[in-house]
Every structure is written in C-alpha cells, then in structure tokens.
Amino acid sequence: MTATHQAALRAAAEAQAPVLARLGSWITTADHKRVGILYGASAFVFFLIGGLEALLIRWQLARPDSAAISAEMYNALFTMHGTTMIFLAVMPLNAAFFNYLVPLMIGARDVAFPRLNALSFWIFLAGGLFLNASFLVGTPPDGGWFGYVSLTSRPFSPGPAIDFWLLSLQILGASSLMASVNFIVTILNLRAPGMSLMRMPVFVWMTLVVQFLILLAFPPITVGLIFLMFDRFFGTHFYDVAAGGDLHLWQHLFWIFGHPEVYILILPAFGIVSEVLPTFAGKPLFGAPVVIYSGVLIGFFGFGVWSHHMFAAGMGPVADAFFSVATMLIAIPTGVKIFNWLATLWGGRIRTTTALHFAVGLIGLFTIGGLSGIMHASPPVDLQQTDTYFVVAHLHYVLIGGSLFGLFAGAYYWWPKITGRFLDERLGKLQFWLLFVAFNTTFFPQHYLGAVGMPRRIYTYPASIGWDLWNLVSTVGAFGIGLSILLFMVIAGRSLRAPATAPADPWDGRTLEWRTSSPPPPHDFDTIPPVYGRDTFWREKHGPRRAPLAPPAADAHGVHLPAPSRWPVVLAAGLLLASIGALTHVGLVVLGGLLTVYAAFRFALEHHRNPAHEHQVGALGLDHRKVGMWTFIGSECLFFGTLIATYLAYKGRSVVGPHPHEILNIPLTTLSTFDLLMSSLLMVLALAAVQRNDRFQARLWLAGTALFGLIFLGFQAYEFTEFVHHGLTLQQNLFGSTFFVLTGFHGAHVTLGVAWLLALLVLDLRGRLGERDAIKVEVAGLYWHFVDIVWIVIFTLVYLVP
Amino acid sequence: MNDGASATLRRLLLLILPAALGGCAFDLPHSTAVGRSDFARAILDVYGIIVWASLGIFLVVAVVLTWVLVRYRARPGAPAPAQTRGHTLLEVAWTIAPALVLLVIAVPTIQVTFRTQPAAAPPGALEVVVRAWQWWWEFRYPALGVVTANELHLPAGRPVVLRLEGPDVIHSFWIPQLGGKRDVVPGRVNRITLTPDAPGEYPGQCAEFCGASHANMRMKVVVQAPEDFERWVAAQRAAPPEPEGPAAEGRALYSRLACVGCHTVTGVSAGVLGPDLTHVGSRSTIGAGLLPNTPESLTAWLLDPPAVKPGVKMPALGLSEDEARILAAYLLSLK
C-alpha cells in the first residue's frame, strides 16, 4: 500500500467519523505532525491576540495627550503584548515547525517521546489560557514582560495581576523544558542511518541549538520566578531591600534567561532561511558547516552577554566593558551567516517565490536589526538608547524582520507539505509587500523617536515635545501590518478549501521531508529513507549516478506508531486547576496537584511492558530514556547552580539573626549526608540485581534505597523543626529564605525520587519488573545519584565552608 | 523579488527619504543628538563612529543583495547553477572583516565607558542626592542644605555628581541633552558625573518603567550661570515669605489637613513621603512636570490628584472649591 493511498484512506475514515470522535483523536494524539498543527493553530490565535494588543497600544499613541486608553490598561497591554508575542506566539510557532519537520527531516517516524510531546503542547495551552484569563477577571499583568522587582513585589503590585504572570510563565517554562529534552533526544538519537550530525539540515541544527538554549536558560528564570513567588505568597525576602536583598539579583536571573531567549526566538528563523534559500537558488547552502558552527557559537556566546541589558543599572565600568566586548563578538558569527546567505544566492538560479521573498526580506531587515543591536552593545551609546523607542525599533526589526519573516517564509515553503495544498503565490507576494512596507512604516520612524528621546512604556506624551508626526505615521503602519495578517488568513482559508493538488516535492527540495507524500502518512515514511550526504534528497534526484544504498534494515517490530493517550491533557488540566487554586482557594491547589500526580502515574505506566517500548536504542547507541535523563540532569545542574549561587551571594547579608554559624548542626548533617551517600550504593546494588534478574535482592535494595531516602527526609524534617524552634523561618531573614528554599527544593527532589523508587518496588512486587525493564531502574538511578551529588555540593558549600 | 517590484521599491525610497529627513528635526527638547555636557558629548563621539560604520555595512549588504537578486534571477533556459558548497578563503575574509570593524568601535567604546564613570568625584564637584519616588523626583543638596523637587538647578561649568538613591521601585534618571540615563535602584547607590556646558533648561523624564504614572514622571534641569545659581541657593535657604490674606488662611488649612503627614514646609510641617513644599511657589510646574504651576491648575490638582495623575499616592482630600483655591494661594506664596 502506498503512503498516499494510506493517507487517502485515513482522510476518508476521518471524514466519516463523528465530530466528537475526530475532536477526541486530536485531543489524545501523539503524532508529531498533529501536535505541530495544534501548536501552530493555537499559537496563531495567541498571535492575533498579541497583535490586537499592539494595535490598541498604537491607537493610544497616535496622538499626544490621548485619552483613548487609561494608564493602567496601557501598562497591561504592553506587558501582555510582550509576554504573549514571546511565549505564546513566536516560541510555539517555532515549536510548530520543530514538531512537524524535525522528524521528517532526519528520516524518523516520530519524536523520541511522542506522548511527552503532546504533554508539552497541552501544558503550553494551559499556560496561555491561564495568562489570558487575567483579562476576564479584570486584573491583567502590568509589570512589563521583564517584571522588574520591586515594582512586581507584593507591596507595589498587591493584586493578583503579577501572580497570573509568574504562574503562567512557570507553566510555560515547564512545557518548554519538556519539549527541549524531547527534541534533543530526538535529534541526537532518532536520525536515520547515514544522517551524521554534519549531514543534518541547518534547520535541524538550529533547532538543536535552540533546545539546548531552552534547556540551560530556563532554569535561572525558573529560580528567579520561584523567588518572586515565595516573596509574594510566603513573605520571603529575596527581593526585599530592607532585609538585605538586592534588586539586581532579579535582573541578572531574568537576563541570563532573557538574552538566550532572543536566540531562542531568532535561530529557528535562521534555520528556515537556510533551507528556503538553497531550494530556490538551486544551490547548496554556501559554507554550511560555517553556518552551523556560527549558529552554535551564537548560542554559546548568548549565555555570556546578558548584562548588556543592564548597562544603565550601574554595574561599574569593568563589567560594562566586559559585556560590551562579549556582545560585539556575537556580531561576528551573525554577520558570517548573512554573508553566507548572500553567497548562497550568488550564482544561483533564483526562483522568486513568496517563500523566497520573505527569506530575502529577513536578510535585509535582520541586518538593520543586527546593526542597531551593535549600537547598543556600546555602553555609552546604550545609555542614550536603552528604554527608548530606538530599542523598540531594534527589537521589532529582529523579531518581526527576523523571526516573523522567517516564519512566513517557512509557512509558504512547507504549507504544501503540511496541507497538500498551495498558498496563492500572487496574493502571497502582495501580502509580502504589504507587510514589508507597513512594517518599515511602523518601526523605522521609531529609531528616530528614540533618538529624540521618547522613552518606552509611556502611555502618553505632551504635544510640545515634537513626537507627534512620527507616532502617527507609526500607527498607520501598524494597521497596515494588521491588514497584511488578515490577508494571510484569507489566503490560508482559500487554500484550505481548495482541492489538494500539491505533489510530494513541489519546489524541487533538497531535504528528506520532500521525499514523502504531501501531507505525509501517519508513519511519515514507508521505508526509512537512505542518506547520501548533506542535501541527501537532491543528491538522490540529481546527483551523479551511484548504486542505490541498501535500504536500512527494517524495524524488527514493524512500523510502530505512537498510540494516542488521554493523560497529557488530563495532566495539563491538573496543573491549570492548581494554578487557579493558587489565586483562589488552596483546596483547588490540592485537587489540581492530586490530579496531576494521578495523571503522571497513569502516563508513566500506560505503556509499561508494551513490546514496542522496550527497545528504544537510537543513533547514539543509547536508550532514548537514558539520553533524556542525562539531558534533563543538565538542566537541573543550572537549576541547583542558580539556587546555590543565590545562597552564596546572599551569605552574610541578613540584617537580623539567626546566622548560619549559630544554628547549623554539622555533626547531624554529616550523618544524614552519609545516609544519602549509602542510598546511592544501595541504588547501584538494586540495578545490578534487576539486571541479573535476582528478584529478592532487587526488592531488598530498591526498598533499602527508598528507606534511606526517607531517613534523609526525616533528618531534614528534624533539622527544619529545630531551626524553626530557634527562630529561623522562611520569613525571618535572608539566610532563612535562601536556606529553606535551597534545601527544601533538594528535599522535594529526594521525595520525588522516593516516590519513583516505591513505584518501581510496587511494580516488582506485582512481578512486573524483570530483566528487560532494567533500563527503567537505570534511569531512576541516574536521577537518584544526581540528587545525591547535589546534596554533597550543598553540604560542602552551605554547611562546611564557613 | 521581480524587477518591477524592486524598481517600485527604489522609487518609493526616493520619495520617502527626503520626506523622512525633512520631518526629522534633531534639535528637539529631548534629543540625544545634541550634547550639552561633557558626558553627552563623549557619548556622541562614539555614537557617530558606530552610526557611520553601521551605515557602511548596511550599504554593502543592501547593494550585494540587490545585485544578486537582479543578476541571478531565474530566466527561462538558464543552465543549472554550479553546486558550490563554500570557499574557505572568502569565508575567513568575511569573518575577519567584521572583527576589524568591531575593533574600531570597541576601542573608543571602552575608553568612554571608563572615562564617563570616574571612581572618584572630580575636584570641586557639587554633590546632589537624587531620590526617585513613584512618580516624582527629590533633589537634595547636602552641602547647601537645600531640598527641592522635579526641577534640578545646576551651575554651568562646574562638575556635578548625582548620587542616585531609591526609596521604592527602580526608576531611571535621564536628561537626554546632558547625557545617558542611569537607573535609580533601591538599596544601591549609582552615580552620574557630568559638567553642564551652558545655562538653559533641559527636560527629561523617568526612563525605567515604574508603574501607573511612569509617563508622568517628568523633570527638568535648570542650568544657571554660577552667580544665578548662588542667588537661587540663597533664596531656597531663606524662609518663605509670611503669607497674607487668603494665603494665610491657606496655611491654617494646610496645617489642619492630612498634607502635613507627607509634605515638608520648613517651620510648618515635616512629612517625608511627598515633595518638599517649602519653596513650591518658585517652581514652574507641579505633579512632576505635568501641569504649569498656576492657581487654576494647582486648584484642579488639589481637588482630585488621581484624576490628573493616574495612580498618584496623594489622595483626593475632599476639599471644597474654595478650600482648594486658598490652599493653592498659600502654596503659590511659598516662593
């Protein structure tokens, strides 16, 4: 049966299925293509909401002294516009492309963890809905997307507005983190035979870099938000100046995340352009390895430049100079990319499709955004530009001129693959020109407005300053952008009603996704495609005649498709319920928490002993789950690293006692540390016993490990109680806040580990944990050892170092 | 991009550019392009280098891009392009070239970064403590015993060190013509060191989002000839004239009302949460640069501050029109 035939059969079967069943199949789907479409569709709706907010902002600013919108509503609008566009529009639109295309481009049949993928989507949706629900109850967040403390601390933002913001950011962070682990494992482990790393399409490479950025950049902001949450809900002092707190702490944690976030938003567009240009120039990407390395370098440097957002914050000339030079260095790999794109077009046979229009538009507009970025890499110049409309212009040249143009290029390019239909090329070019002109009309004048001193985030300005004309022009342009988005919706709507005429390879593509039908069958490829090199499909079609590669060995289990699951959506609903509870009634928190835990268990056990799930060894020669755990541990290192760094930075800053040396009980903690170390030994024994199928010892050591974990938690409970008796609470001083949050989160990790071990033990007692399940114990063991190692670091730095 | 379209684009640019430049005056009150202090001029030096370098790079990219699109557009019958995969020497060249341009930018950048943030105050510098509140500015001259709000007076030609301190949330002090902005961060002390060139009035406003009335947190710096500055200091140090007529009634009202809890008028009240009003009549605006300091606007303000300035900490006191008017008379008498 051909793939096209199967797709047709599926479509026919679906068309006959009742609406509810069809809806259900989307809600429970674990197919990466459907998850991608879900991401794309919901992100587009959020994009429209964010765009509407932008139009209201521009409406208010069109005239001086305008009273169209109140100050409070204006502040909420720009806060929500920024937060929405970044977290609910551009990131998930990128995710839509990752989901749909990465498996197809590396010759895989799905992602490594399909249900986890669905879970990422549903949690994202829960976070987006929760954030926007703040409008419905009349308290939209109004502290800016960067949420600087102390403005967002309880005394200056008493209502639930900021709580909505920080809770939904936490939810969205969890979704992004899961997705990043999933895609790192997918890209490293699920590549078709022959698809070496350097043969991967650049879009896949950029996806990989972005996933590492998410993996490592989100923990600091997660910790920063935890501090803010504890300050607001439980009265800790992380951002309390009177108690010795430092407001710069939030700014550092925010921008350590916030700057890599810029690359999280833009690198996927770079990847898209690097696919679109070669296809329509009919040439390979010029210097592909250099484009890849420069993407990796951008990601790497991206972690060392965060403080260029803080040149006005007063860090002193040495820090200013360091971050300035680091920032300028990033311009080099970025410039290299632009030159390589130009060289890709040079000497080509350029087909001027709509997708190419957008890709070329990106090169021009991103160059402007990049150059204005170099201007504020210079601290003195930045002191005049930061927090003005010059920066608003800059960031929109990067995020619209870069990200959005890239996304549109990708949409026009891959739409036939995804829907089997074309987008109208003539109207598409009209949409491009409308967007191009309107975008420049909106944002180019903002450079000027910034240069003549118009600050950002002001809801009004007086007539006498001379900012009127170009604000009006900018507003007119903004409505033009809106018009072009409407036109895109018309084009897309018309396309979806038209008959499916797109062939498998409409553009003479170079990468593997064009080798399967449009749209692809549920299993992506009838046989895993051969890989001849970079641009493998092009070589297969046009390359020198060569003996066909032997097809990769057929999968021993046949084609395995991920089964649908209802637990991702249930788990996300549990999280949503708990978040609603955090703002209303603690009972709902408990209920939501229980639902989350229950769904997590069902999720984890759903495919226990499903033969298709036993063998998951991929291109690295390692099990997916093991690679996933290692990846997750990488993120956890940053999480605990941030907590520990904060503890050390705040050490000695408490304005009242008790202080650490008065209260820490080193002998007792030495004992509990020894206990936890021994538990790691038992964990090793347990794994060995499971591997050699020694049922008795497996149970004994699993139970022993869990017991030692429980004993450690007992020690911790005793220690906490003692401290409270001695007057050290979360609220007492900075030491109490940092100590309890750090060790408390470690304790929570131990608790999770104990629950995991007990679940394995129960499986074993029911006779469902045999030799072939050893990988599950091994993954649990990795986590357990990691948590122990973290404790050794905490014990050394918190207890032993005076 | 087809030929017709790119020609349209060129025509459009030819139309827009002159119009755009004609509409862009750079001598506006908040312009960053006019340097009126050593600090601002040092910044403009670096600014100029970067702007020219950026324009140059942009022109190169734009010209190459346009040329490539026109020259290599697919034409019927064109042969399949050569499958060039890269060129090491070229790629090394366009890695090194931007690095050199960056060097040209980086060196003056770092020089100015250090020069404009001296570790010690210059000799003879005047120190002013700037305290930024939601949503107004407090200026204290410790050596002169003067406290004022929203209008900072400085002598021309004398170095000044602004010590930035914050009691509530983060703000940012910014007078564009006098130089770059610097955040006012509660719990930290930041400094701006500068020497204003010449007498004049230089407006500015808070540049870090700080809540509801961030847009209404304006101020101005009045740079005066040294002798005028001395006269201003002497007037600020003197007790305000004894009020007469309605103003005297106003003072009685002021002393009875909640005003005294937040505001200072030397000899009458000693509140510290709002602006010092001892010489409020000598200032040209009220509400942090929001309204001119006239009897009418002051009366409107006193009747309902939140209606004039969203979120303002000063509540409506429930005054009658008459009460507001005599209170305004008193405040305006505080020259």
From chain A, pick out residues whose CB is under 8 angstroms from the CB of B87. Answer: 286-287, 343
Strand partners, B291: B286
Is the pLDDT assigned to residue A800 strictly greater than 60? yes
- State phi, psi for A256 to the nearest 5 degrees: -60, -35
pLDDT score at B62: 97
Distance from the first to the final alpha carbon of chain A: 72
Strand partners, B223: B154, B200
Is A246 in Cβ contact with B69 (below 8 Å)?
no
**Mean pLDDT, residues A243-258:** 97
Strand B285-286 relative to strand B182-184, pairing: unpaired
pLDDT, averaged across chain A: 94
Is the pLDDT assigned to residue B15 strictly greater than 60? no
Is the pLDDT assigned to residue A95 strictly greater than 50? yes
Q: What 3 state SS string does A220-254 have?
A: HHHHHHHHHHHHHHHCCCCCCHHHCCCHHHHHHHH
Torsion of CA A510, A513, A514, A515, to 10 degrees: 100
Cα-to-chain-centroid distance, residue A79: 19
CB nearest B1 (choices: A72, A352, A445): A352
Q: Structure tokens of B194?
A: 């500068």
Residue pair A536/A193 in contact by the 8 Å Cβ criterion? no
B167 touches chain A (CB under 8 A): no
**pLDDT tens sequence across A692-715:** 999 999 999 999 999 999 999 999
**Mean pLDDT, residues B222-249:** 95
Please list, residue by residue across B253-282, b when 16 or more beta carbons sit within 10 angstroms of its beta carbon and e when fewer do.
bbeebebeeebbbbebbebeebbbbbbbbb
Is A347 in Cβ contact with B84 (below 8 Å)?
yes
Q: What percent of chain B has pLDDT over 90?
A: 88
B99 touches chain A (CB under 8 A): yes
Residue pair A389/B37 in contact by the 8 Å Cβ criterion? no
pLDDT score at A94: 98
Is the pLDDT assigned to residue A612 strictly greater than 90? no
- Report the complex ipTM: 0.93
Q: Which of A75, A83, A374, A378 to mutate to test the interface with B (most CBs of B within 10 A)?
A: A378
CB contact residues (below 8 A), chain B span 262-291, against chain A = none
DSSP assignment of A36-88 equals: HHHHHHHHHHHHHHHHHHHHHHHHHHTSTT--SS-HHHHHHHHHHHHHIIIII
B23 touches chain A (CB under 8 A): yes
Distances in whole angstroms, Cα of residue B118 to Cα of each of A318, A801, B111, B190, B193: 12, 36, 11, 12, 8
Is the pLDDT assigned to residue B180 strictly greater than 50? yes
Q: What percent of chain A has pLDDT over 70?
A: 96
Is B54 in Cβ contact with A71 (below 8 Å)?
no
Dist. CA A386–CA A378, nearest whole Å: 11
| Triad A328, A331, A335: Cα angle to 5° | 155
Burial of A602 (0-12, 13-18, 19+ CB in 10 A): middle
CB nearest A144 (choices: B43, B206, B209): B209
For A341, name the nearest residue in chain B, comparing CA atoms only: B65
**pLDDT tens sequence across B191-206:** 999 999 999 999 999 9
Is the pLDDT assigned to residue A8 strictly greater than 60? no
User: What counts of helices (H) and strands (E) characterise chain B?
Assistant: 9, 14
pLDDT score at A15: 59
Residues 6+ apart with CB under 8 A from A30: A110, A114, A115, A117, A118, A562, A563, A564, A565, A568
Strand B291-292 relative to strand B285-286, pairing: antiparallel
Dist. CA A205–CA A216, nearest whole Å: 17
Dist. CA A760–CA A779, nearest whole Å: 11
**Mean pLDDT, residues A591-614:** 89
Q: From A204, A365, A171, select the one nearest A274 (Cα to Cα).
A: A204
pLDDT score at A1: 37
Is A351 in Cβ contact with B74 (below 8 Å)?
yes
Is A374 in Cβ contact with B105 (below 8 Å)?
yes
Angle, helices A389-398 vs A425-451, to 10°: value is 150
From chain B, pick out residues whose CB is under 8 angstroms from the CB of A286. Answer: 84-87
CB nearest A284 (choices: B43, B72, B83): B83
- State phi, psi for A73 to the nearest 5 degrees: -70, -40
Strand partners, B292: B285
Burial of A194 (0-12, 13-18, 19+ CB in 10 A): middle
pLDDT score at A3: 44
pLDDT score at A802: 83
B63 touches chain A (CB under 8 A): no
Mapping DSSP to helix (H, G, I), strand (E, B) and coil, where does residue B129 land?
strand
**pLDDT tens sequence across A22-55:** 899 999 999 999 999 999 999 999 999 999 999 9
Distance from the first to the final alpha carbon of chain B: 67
Cα-to-chain-centroid distance, residue A491: 29
Q: Structure tokens of A123?
A: 């949690």
User: Count of CB contacts below 8 A, A vs B?
Assistant: 285
B31 touches chain A (CB under 8 A): yes
**Mean pLDDT, residues A538-555:** 69
Band (pLDDT 50/70/90 cuts) for residue A21 is confident
Q: B78 versus A589: which is more confidently predicted? A: A589
Count of C-beta atoms within a 10 Å radius of residue B60: 14
Is B109 in Cβ contact with A380 (below 8 Å)?
yes
B242 touches chain A (CB under 8 A): no
pLDDT score at B79: 85
Dist. CA A173–CA A180, nearest whole Å: 10
Q: From A143, A392, A139, A87, select the one nearest A264 (Cα to Cα).
A: A87
Residues 6+ apart with CB under 8 A from B94: A335, A336, A339
From chain B, pick out residues whose CB is under 8 angstroms from the CB of A368. Answer: 58
Dist. CA B101–CA B103, nearest whole Å: 5
**pLDDT tens sequence across A497-544:** 999 999 999 999 999 999 999 999 999 998 888 898 899 999 989 887
Task: Look at the block and give the residue holding tokens 């029109």.
Answer: B321
CB nearest B109 (choices: A70, A324, A444): A324
Dist. CA A86–CA A99, nearest whole Å: 18
Query: For chain A, how long is the longest CA-to-CA vector?
Result: 85
For A146, name the nearest residue in chain B, comparing CA atoms only: B209
- State phi, psi for A660 to the nearest 5 degrees: -55, -50
Is B102 in Cβ contact with A329 (below 8 Å)?
yes
List the single range of A290-294, A604-608, A633-637 with lowest mean pLDDT: A604-608
Cα-to-chain-centroid distance, residue A107: 23
Q: Which residues of A are catalytic?
A: 81, 110, 145, 175-176, 259, 261, 263, 274, 308-309, 334, 337, 456
Residue pair A211/A218 in contact by the 8 Å Cβ criterion? no
From chain A, pick out residues whose CB is under 8 angstroms from the CB of B206. Answer: 455
Is the pLDDT assigned to residue A4 strictly greater than 50? no
Residue pair B219/B204 in contact by the 8 Å Cβ criterion? yes
B58 touches chain A (CB under 8 A): yes
Q: Structure tokens of A429?
A: 């070019």
Dist. CA B243–CA B236, nearest whole Å: 16
Please list, residue by residue across A261-300, b when 16 or more beta carbons sit within 10 angstroms of its beta carbon and e when fewer do.
bbbbbbbbbbbbbbbbbbbbbbbbbbbbebbbebbbbbbb
Dist. CA A423–CA A779, nearest whole Å: 46
Band (pLDDT 50/70/90 cuts) for residue B33 is very high
B170 touches chain A (CB under 8 A): yes
DSSP assignment of B8-23 equals: HHHHHHHHHHHHHHHT
Residue pair A485/A495 in contact by the 8 Å Cβ criterion? no
Dist. CA A156–CA A170, nearest whole Å: 21
Mapping DSSP to helix (H, G, I), strand (E, B) and coil, where does residue B257 land?
coil
Residue pair A354/A423 in contact by the 8 Å Cβ criterion? yes
H or E element, residue B64: helix B38-71
Dist. CA B216–CA B224, nearest whole Å: 25
For A366, name the nearest residue in chain B, comparing CA atoms only: B58
Count of C-beta atoms within a 10 Å radius of residue A569: 20
Is the pLDDT assigned to residue A572 strictly greater than 80? yes
Residue pair A547/A530 in contact by the 8 Å Cβ criterion? no
Is the pLDDT assigned to residue A770 strictly greater than 90? no
Is B1 in Cβ contact with A75 (below 8 Å)?
no
pLDDT score at A388: 97
Is A336 in Cβ contact with B95 (below 8 Å)?
yes
Residue pair B279/B335 in contact by the 8 Å Cβ criterion? yes
Dist. CA A760–CA A756, nearest whole Å: 6
Angle, helices A247-281 vs A354-375, to 10°: value is 140
Mapping DSSP to helix (H, G, I), strand (E, B) and coil, where does residue A609 land?
coil
B168 touches chain A (CB under 8 A): yes
Is the pLDDT assigned to residue A2 strictly greater than 60? no
Is A378 in Cβ contact with B58 (below 8 Å)?
no
